[in-house]
Amino acid sequence: MTSLYIYYRVRAENAARLGPMVRAMQAGLGAGTVMRRPDEKDGLQTWMEVYPGAGSDFAAQLDESVRESGILALIEGPRHTEAFVELPCA
Domain around 51: 2-85
**Sign of the dihedral through C-alpha 15, 23, 66, 9:** positive
pLDDT tens profile 15-53: 999 999 999 999 999 999 999 999 999 999 999 999 998
Phi, psi of 30 (to 5 degrees): 75, 25
Q: What is the pTM of this model?
A: 0.90
Assign residue 14 the CATH number of its domain: 3.30.70.2190
List b or e across 28-59, with b for residues whose CB sees 16 or more CB atoms inside 10 angstroms: ebebbeeeeeeeeeeebbebebbbeebeeebb
- How many separate domains does the chain show? 1
E-assigned strand segments in 14-65: 33-36, 44-54
90 domain-assigned: no
Residue 81 located in a structural domain: yes
**77 lies in some domain:** yes
